[in-house]
Amino acid sequence: MLRIGLFLATNFAVLFVLSIVMKVLGLDQPGSGTGGMLVFAAIFGMGGSLISLLMSKTMAARAVGAQVIEQPSNAAERWLLATVERQAAAAGIGMPEVAVFDSPSPNAFATGANRDAALVAVSTGLLRQMSEDEVEAVLGHEISHVANGDMVTLALVQGVLNTFVMVFAHVLAAAIDRDGRGRHGAGYYLGYFAAQAVLGFLASLIVMWFSRFREYRADAGGARLAGRGKMIAALERLKAQSDPQGLPDSMAAFGISGGLGSLLSTHPPLEARIARLRAEA
């Protein structure tokens, strides 16, 4: 609830500051549509992000075809549930739902709006290609994401940036093309879409930076829950994959691996993650 409160406060602060900017620039004249834009940004910038977060478990499971383990049918599933339960208790969170999805690539993700009712899913490739120690470390990494509230925080960061991009694109476009009577010409719409594209790209850099930062924290959490040696071994195993297949784009930020380490990558390079864990030993 604290994160939600901070999120709402930050969004309203963004709207308040930008409304002042509009007033200073004379963009808040009657008929200018400024009030409607602020309402639109508040609804879609904040509301859209929150709705996506609330639907994240269902959307994620459907995206990869994950099947929640209701009753374990074999020793592997029993071990999986027992390991997640033990790690969740150690991390101080409620027992997440545990699911398996069919993929030849070793991967896993965690998602959910509530740290006490999250979803942790692993691929069949992960279970086949990794040892129990390595899978335990991957599960610890995902449990740490949940315990750190990373899914919630990432959604809130995205919501704040969505609000900023929509309103500030309007401010820039209106400043460029206005006729003094509150009407917008074709230049406004071209300017708006151009500004939104540029600002949206810059906002994505911030989101990706935060996503990479939280991966280091989750690695450290996995090391605490499963052991540093196991976490390093799991990352080394991922690094050994010659052509790993990632999760769908909508789920990339929630996986154990992904991306090439660029500014637009959701994950740091595996070499950097391994080096940091070794340096912290």
pLDDT digits (tens, 9 = 90+) for 94-113: 999 999 999 998 999 999 88
The pLDDT of 106-124, averaged and rounded, is: 92
The pLDDT of 142-156, averaged and rounded, is: 90
Q: Verify whether residue 142 is a known catalytic residue.
A: yes
Q: Is the pLDDT of residue 117 over 80?
A: yes
The pLDDT of 36-40, averaged and rounded, is: 63
Tell me, what's the pLDDT at 131? 95
The pLDDT-based confidence of 9 (bands split at 50, 70, 90) is low
Locus of tokens 């990352």: 235
Q: Is the pLDDT of residue 64 over 60?
A: yes
Residue 119 CB-density burial (10 A; 0-12 exposed, 13-18 middle, 19+ buried): buried
Among candidate residues 132, 142, 271, 280, the one labeled active-site is: 142
pLDDT digits (tens, 9 = 90+) for 180-239: 455 666 777 888 888 888 988 988 888 888 889 999 999 999 999 999 999 999 999 998
The pLDDT-based confidence of 3 (bands split at 50, 70, 90) is very low
Q: Give the pairing type, strands 119-123 and 97-101.
A: parallel
State what percent of residues in the chain have pLDDT above 90: 39
